[in-house]
Amino acid sequence: MASIASTGPVLATERASRGIWRDALRRLLRNGPALVGLFFIALFLFLALLAPLLTPYDPVVGTLADRLQPPGSPGHLLGTDLQGRDELARIVYGARLSLVVCVGSVLMGLAMGGTIGAIAGAAGGRTDAVLMRTVDVLLAIPGILLAIGVVTWLGRGLPQIMLAVAATNAPIFARILRGSLLANREQDYVIAARSIGAPRLRVLFRHLLPNSLTSVMVAGTLALATAIIDVAGLGFLGLGPSDPRTAEWGTMLTDSTQYLRQGPFLIFFPGVAIVISAIGFNLLGDGLRESLDPRLKR
């Protein structure tokens, strides 16, 4: 009898070690599409991080004698381009650049948008109105147009590209965070925290922000996908890295259009790389949204 009586509480404490993040992770790992996304991202990270180990070639320097080799040629698995540079090397080093630029731009966007959204949501009143109308103006401009504007204004180069992509994402993050803060502000637990005398900043940082961040996290993951496309888009439009030789997927696409007849595979591989990484982040973002949404708890 005693053992039966004790099972209840024991089970309860076993379950107790699980936090909401672990619950979310468990749900994420049960989500098929999200796993596919994770696999794509893992592949992308693997290429980016291990680039020097995966290929002996320099992505920038080519051998003109070996130009336009088809895929499967000895020594060049994915062939070579017009300057005789190894395509595989350019793809994996391109992954490295994409990773840095995308993660950097999304983090910058989160910092900018998060700050604006947090100030607007916490302050309310006139501050909120001024900040949010500014955000509305930025949102009214198509993202890629805004990014082109920023790059033409600040000049070409990786930091400028990051800032340009961040500028397209920041208004979205600001709006999402502010909305979530406002929704949480009238929640009982926030009023309860205030009713026990918690200081304003403590309420903001400990109660409001952690509960509002999930939606921003999801938006951030999805933004990584658009960032990859935006960066490639800028490269495609000739606003890529300042050194035109840099291995960048978008720039590679533009270059390959000029000799599409001689080397059609040269437009295929960068395209596939962009699609796979963008889809990866998209699927993961959707999976995160589902697993973090308490309404979908199973």
Partner 1 sequence: MTLLAVDDLVVRFRTRDGTIHAVNGVSFELEEGERLGLVGESGCGKSVTNLAIMRLLPKPAGHLEGGRVVFEGVDLAKVSESDIRDIRGKDIAMIFQDPMTSLNPVLTIGEQMVETIQAHRKVSNSAARARAVELLSMVGIPKPEARLGDFPHQFSGGMRQRVMIAIALALEPKLLIADEPTTALDVTIQAQVLDLLRNLTTEHGTALILITHDLGVVAGMTQRINVMYAGFIVETAATADLFESPSHPYTVGLLHSIPRIDAPPGEELVPIEGRPPDMRHAPAGCPFAPRCAWRLDVCWSENPPLRAIDPTARVVSTGAASTHQVACHNPPTREEREAGRPLGDRYHPAPPPSGALDELSMARVGASAGEPDGAIGETADVWPESSSVSASPSAGGLPIDPTDR
Number of residues in contact with partner 1 under rule CB under 8 A: 30
Compare residues 24 and 164 and give the one whose CB is closer to partner 1: 24
Of 223, 218, 228, 214, the closest CA to residue 278 belongs to 228
Question: Could you say which DSSP state residue 157 is in?
Answer: S
Compare residues 6 and 262 and give the one whose CB is closer to partner 1: 6
**Full 3-state SS string of 72-134:** CECCECCCECCCCCEHHHHHHHHHHHHHHHHHHHHHHHHHHHHHHHHHHHHHCHHHHHHHHHH
Q: Binding pattern to partner 1, positions 112-131, x when CB under 8 A?
A: ------------xx------
Count the neighbouring beta carbons within 10 Å of the beta carbon of residue 118. 19
Using the contact rule CB under 8 A, the part of the chain among 16-24, 141-149, 162-170, 262-270 near partner 1 is: 16-24
Going 134 to 137 to 139 to 145, the CA torsion angle's sign is negative
Compare residues 199 and 264 and give the one whose CB is closer to partner 1: 199
Does position 56 interact with partner 1 (CB under 8 A)? The reply is no
CA distance 236 to 251: 5
Question: Tokens in use for 12?
Answer: 């309860």
Which 186-205 positions form the footprint of partner 1 (CB under 8 A)? 186-199, 202
Compare residues 20 and 111 and give the one whose CB is closer to partner 1: 20
Residue selected from 12, 65, 140, 201 as contacting partner 1 according to rule CB under 8 A: 12
Residue selected from 1, 5, 16, 140 as contacting partner 1 according to rule CB under 8 A: 16
Contacts of 138 (CB under 8 A, 6+ apart): 146, 167, 170, 171
Compare residues 9 and 75 and give the one whose CB is closer to partner 1: 9
Using the contact rule CB under 8 A, the part of the chain among 7-15, 56-64, 99-107, 256-264 near partner 1 is: 7-15
Compare residues 124 and 179 and give the one whose CB is closer to partner 1: 124
**Least CB distance to partner 1 at residue 43 (A):** 32
Residue 66 contacts residue 56 (beta carbons within 8 Å) = no
Question: Could you say which DSSP state residue 140 is in?
Answer: H
**Least CB distance to partner 1 at residue 13 (A):** 5
Compare residues 139 and 193 and give the one whose CB is closer to partner 1: 193
**Least CB distance to partner 1 at residue 12 (A):** 7
**Least CB distance to partner 1 at residue 178 (A):** 15
Compare residues 214 and 256 and give the one whose CB is closer to partner 1: 214
Residue for token pair 């910058």: 108
**Least CB distance to partner 1 at residue 113 (A):** 21
Alpha-helical segments (H) within the chain: 2-16, 20-29, 32-49, 51-54, 87-123, 125-140, 143-154, 158-185, 188-195, 200-202, 209-236, 249-257, 265-292
Q: Contact residues for partner 1 (CB under 8 A)?
A: 9, 12-13, 15-17, 19-20, 124-125, 186-199, 202, 206-207, 210-211, 294
